[in-house]
Chains A and B, each alone.
Chain A
């Protein structure tokens, strides 16, 4: 049986189940994206000011509002739209973090995702470890598409999606502002936000997509769906049970507040402002 790179996962599933070439072809007619995995992270709410702990060990996260990382909300929304367009059968929300991350997963389920997986740990993991854990999930779940936020607004690393692509061999399309299906749903045309504007790429599925702000506007979960979400399946896996090596040689020495800005001056008129900018600040 011939397995093109783009349909590798479907082929792998078909081979594993002893399915015939014909049934593989049938599943291809429906497109290769049977399942979408979306990553979500619980982070300090974007409207809360980050305060450095007195002992400089990190950011104060006790008794502050936590929310789903905004880019991950966009990822969930995109996955749901793809499913609603009939191009995927299941959306699985995956988080890696403390027990409270279940709430973040429930938020995704309330938006409309089908089930959740939490790899539970209280450790602060680096993106490489997170990517290895996502690979662990992908090896089991064989998704046709993985959608992650381009970065979490806490660590601002912007690494996990790219690392996951490198580790799994799935194609990569980062900073997506538009995702379209092509070639009988075996490839994506992704419009990407780059420094000078937009570029478009065509990537064979399975693919890792990371979201940028313009991709969509995430829906709000409605109350009945929040209730329904409580009954959707959520599997909790202890980090140790994954067998994944998450050791890191990168450590945080300390976290500091940035230097405060010097107090400025108020000007009385546009003319005075221009004068200051030209002669004092010398920026125009």
Chain B
């Protein structure tokens, strides 16, 4: 049976996460892969979607209300198209998480959140307890409704495909829920959960002003800045910086932990990072047990040195 994927797009471009989800669909196999593109004036994004390697068909729902990706509207649209599909996939991000469970409930099937591995067409691995354990789950539902953790699947090529593009009708719009606006973080800096490099500070930073040292290094590495819960609780930085079990779960190529002791709940949020660097003056700090590279040093000496070295 075929697989339907809710594609995500921004200003005419496909979001990269869609390529990771197509990769997961390829591993599920079984039939054609169809991308659903909902929005307004999405012709350019549809062309991009049609070029994605492994995509057989692009379904385009072009209607103004879809521009803001409201959950009720998108879930009604997906459900209107669901018949005949064996799998319906979403990226595990703000939109996918918002929409997937609605689709599952409306189809009266279990939702499967954040898969990190495909074992077979009905069996998947997903992290639980913020990645401290991996559950293998099996679904006997007629249609498997799933979010895919993008960082767990290497993206397919954005080119090489030549899928047919076909218009589909808009579904019911729920006027009771309306989009008002967005207040996006500094666009020069990558977003914490999708950044290639994350520079995080803990209680060892001593105060919020000292986070400017991390900002400076992050700027040079095109990195996002994060923090431990201890730093957030101490009021150094706002909650949105928090990496950990109760904050954001990140898996960048490089995670630089500065003045972070490595509490369980912080490790849960970053231990899937490819390379972990820890700088801490306490050589007994648990963070060193998960670090690929550890440096026992006073961060107030190490950070300026690091910043200067990155200029060289």
Residues of A within 8 A of B (CB): 5-6, 44, 46-50, 52, 59, 70-71, 126-128, 131, 153-167, 171-175, 189, 192-204, 213-214, 248-258, 261-262, 264-271, 273-274, 276-277, 281, 283-284
Contact = CB atoms under 8 A, between A and B. Distances in A.
29 contacts: A70-B246, A128-B104, A128-B105, A128-B108, A156-B114, A158-B97, A158-B113, A160-B101, A162-B101, A162-B105, A171-B177, A175-B94, A197-B182, A197-B183, A199-B180, A199-B182, A201-B179, A213-B239, A213-B247, A253-B136, A254-B135, A255-B135, A256-B136, A261-B276, A261-B290, A264-B293, A267-B293, A270-B305, A283-B274
Contacts of A126: 110
A166 B74 CA distance: 12
Given A174-B97, A266-B296, A270-B306, 12 more contacts: A5-B176, A163-B102, A166-B75, A166-B102, A166-B103, A166-B106, A195-B194, A249-B109, A251-B137, A253-B137, A255-B135, A273-B306
Nearest to B308: A270
B177 A128 contact: no
A204 B221 CA distance: 44
Contacts, number: 256
A77 B297 CA distance: 41
A92 B136 CA distance: 35
Contacts of B109: 128, 249
A199 B183 CA distance: 6
Contacts of A49: 132, 264
A171 B174 contact: yes
Contact of A198 (B71, B182, B310): B182
Given A153-B130, A156-B129, A189 B110 contact: no
Contact of A270 (B290, B292, B297): B297
Contacts of A160: 101
B275 A283 contact: yes
Contacts of B103: 166
A50 B106 CA distance: 33
B234 interface: no
Interface residues of B, number: 89
Given A48-B264, A197-B185, A281 B293 contact: yes
B179 A281 contact: no
A38 B247 CA distance: 21
B253 interface: yes
Interface of B: 70-72, 75, 93-95, 97-106, 108-114, 123, 127-141, 174, 176-185, 187, 191, 193-194, 197, 221, 238-240, 242, 245-247, 253-254, 263-265, 271-272, 274-277, 288, 290-297, 302, 305-306, 309-310
B295 A153 contact: no
Nearest to B194: A195
Contact of A264 (B108, B184, B276): B276
A239 B60 CA distance: 43
B132 A50 contact: yes
Contacts of A196: 182, 184-185, 187, 191
A165 B102 contact: yes
Contacts of B105: 128, 131, 162-164, 166-167
Nearest to A270: B305
Interface core residue of A174, A214, A273 (most chain B CB under 10 Å): A273
B292 A265 contact: yes
Interface core residue of B112, B135, B179, B254 (most chain A CB under 10 Å): B135
A154 to B, nearest CB: 6
Nearest to A49: B264
A172 B72 contact: yes
A276 B293 contact: yes
Given A59-B133, A213-B242, A214-B239, A283 B294 contact: no
A159 B101 contact: yes
A157 B180 CA distance: 27
Contact of B178 (A5, A195, A202): A202
A176 B59 CA distance: 31
A181 to B, nearest CB: 14
Nearest to B272: A258
A82 to B, nearest CB: 19
B293 A265 contact: yes
A253 B194 contact: no
Contact of B110 (A249, A273, A274): A249
Contacts of B128: 50, 59, 154-156, 255
